Chains A and B, each alone.
Chain A
Amino acid sequence: DPTRGTSDDCQPCPCPTGVTCAVVPKSKEVVCTNCPVGTTGKRCELCDDGYFGDPLGQNGPVRACHICKCSDNIDPNAVGNCNRETGECLKCIYNTAGFFCDRCQEGFYGNALAPNVADKCKACSCSPLGTVGKQSSCSQVTGQCQCLPNVAERNCSACQPGFFNLQSGNGCERCDCNPIGSNN
């Protein structure tokens, strides 16, 4: 406040080098006014929306603000894609999940990091009749559902050869055909 006329009226801005500041008239609070790209806050201590880090190292080592790292599994038209401090991804798409949108959601399988959307995460679609506990989730990598006894296929939708009665919901039963009278 230069109007008071003392030698320490004007003080340097408590901001990163080259950044200007202003005093809020009502609260007398000093606020930085043009923080570097990706940073914001009274002292440029926070990351902007779409960025994450800890530019002044308030909670540990200094980490400059970087654009959200979400394995290309976020939409640039969305807001709040990642936590501004930790970088945890908050709006994964293409059925992905995880801190970096780097794995498939529950109930989906495949490679969340595949470059083509079609190759990313597909629904498990486990057959309810052939799956233990009618679960809807499967192995995240192979997509194998957890099948009841003597049930086959990735999605547990068929009996193993020589077995029948998937409809029972308890697994498949041996055919017990007489080998002499049967052709397979």
Chain B
Amino acid sequence: PRPDVDALPPGTHLLFAQSGRIDHVPLEGYDMKKKDAKAVLHLPEKVIIGVAYDCVDKMVYWTEITSPSISRASIQGGEPTAVIRSDLESPEGIAIDHLGRTMFWTDSLKDRIEVASLDGTQRRVIIDSDLVNPRAIITDPPHGNLYWADWNREAPKIETSYMDGSNRRVLIKDNLGLPNGLTYDSPSSLLCWADAGTHKVECMNPSRGDRSEVMEGIRYPFGVTSYGKNIYYTDWQRDSVVAVDRYSGKESDEMQPQKRTKLYGITTAYSQCPSGQNYCSVN
């Protein structure tokens, strides 16, 4: 396929960053329609790390580290616009609360987590202590929860807080290596992570605290996202997107883009927003 800049057709897609571009692959059921994979955005001079999707306005958001910034564009073919340009050093993970109309991101040099409205206004630091290498961040909008991972080699951890940074707690600190990717699946209430140190995908119900292994022996995961029965992760050694059936714990598919280079963040672009509301959307 020609990697042209193109609008995203209807349906649910995976969006993933490959250095200077954001690609999409349509999902048919849970299968990747690999032949229809294309670039949504070509930004060859950028290094894109995190991607997030706003299902309300159908916009993709991303973090970029060469001239550290956060930008967005309509997936129906809009111009990229920077929404945050100042006071960033190494923005990596990004997550959206589509109900509260806010975005959250981690910065691994400033060692903090910030929030802002989707247009970049009303920016505020919500966590600025006890962070070493924060990367993945994910929201659970209906419950107003935030989850993030810190791959600090001395003491890796996965933490949670409310969306204003209050009620911060460490969820997991044992048997972690390099938890690079996080995803939260609302229907099953499962928080899952992909770990490039333990080479495992694991999940946990954050309120019950029970932890289970989905798959072991994976190579070098970076980003991870979930959709229905599948977990999809990007891999730095395979330069590909790998699909794992979370119930059988087996790899079900792989997609390797034509250009062989590192893949970074990945997210699911739902055709329709999951329903729900939270206190930020009400107040």
CA distance A173 to B260 in the complex (A): 70
Contact of B90 among A34, A41, A77, A80 (CB under 8 A): A80
Q: Is B204 engaged at the interface, CB distance under 8 Å to the other chain?
A: no
- Report whether A77 and B180 are in contact in the complex, using a CB–CB cutoff of 8 Å: yes
Contact of A26 among B44, B77, B260 (CB under 8 A): B77
Q: Is B110 engaged at the interface, CB distance under 8 Å to the other chain?
A: no
Q: Is B87 engaged at the interface, CB distance under 8 Å to the other chain?
A: no
- Report whether B47 and A80 are in contact in the complex, using a CB–CB cutoff of 8 Å: yes
Against A, the Cβ 8 Å flags (1 = close, 0 = not) of B51-80 are: 000000000000001100000000001000
Contact of A79 among B5, B92, B153 (CB under 8 A): B92
Give the contact stretch, choosing among A42-50, A66-74, A134-142, A175-183: A42-50
Chain A residue at minimum C-beta to C-beta distance from B257: A34
Chain A residue at minimum C-beta to C-beta distance from B153: A75
CA distance A50 to B47 in the complex (A): 10
- Report whether B90 and A25 are in contact in the complex, using a CB–CB cutoff of 8 Å: no
CA distance A23 to B259 in the complex (A): 16
Q: Is A114 engaged at the interface, CB distance under 8 Å to the other chain?
A: no
Q: Is A84 engaged at the interface, CB distance under 8 Å to the other chain?
A: yes
Please report which residues of chain B, range 251-267, place their CB below 8 angstroms from some CB of chain A when the two chains form the complex: 258-262, 264
- Report whether A40 and B20 are in contact in the complex, using a CB–CB cutoff of 8 Å: yes
Q: Is A62 engaged at the interface, CB distance under 8 Å to the other chain?
A: no
Against A, the Cβ 8 Å flags (1 = close, 0 = not) of B132-165 are: 0100000000000000000101000000000000
Chain B: number of interface residues, binned into ranges:
20 to 34
Residues of B within 8 A of A40 (CB): 19-20, 44, 261
Shortest distance between the CB of B262 and any CB in chain A (Å): 7
Q: Is B2 engaged at the interface, CB distance under 8 Å to the other chain?
A: yes
Point out which of B42, B109, B258 has the most chain A C-beta atoms below 10 A from its C-beta. B42
Query: Given A24-B42, A37-B260, A48-B261, A80–B65 Cβ distance below 8 Å?
Result: yes
Supply 15 further A-B pairs (C-beta < 8 A) apart from A40-B44, A41-B45, A84-B47.
Answer: A22-B3, A22-B4, A24-B42, A25-B4, A26-B77, A27-B5, A31-B42, A31-B44, A40-B19, A42-B45, A48-B262, A75-B153, A77-B153, A79-B47, A79-B90
Residues of B within 8 A of A (CB): 2-6, 19-20, 42, 44-45, 47, 49, 65-66, 77, 90, 92, 108-109, 133, 151, 153, 178, 180, 196, 258-262, 264
14 contacts between A and B (CB under 8 A): A22-B4, A24-B4, A24-B5, A26-B77, A33-B258, A42-B44, A48-B19, A49-B47, A49-B65, A49-B262, A50-B262, A77-B151, A79-B65, A80-B90
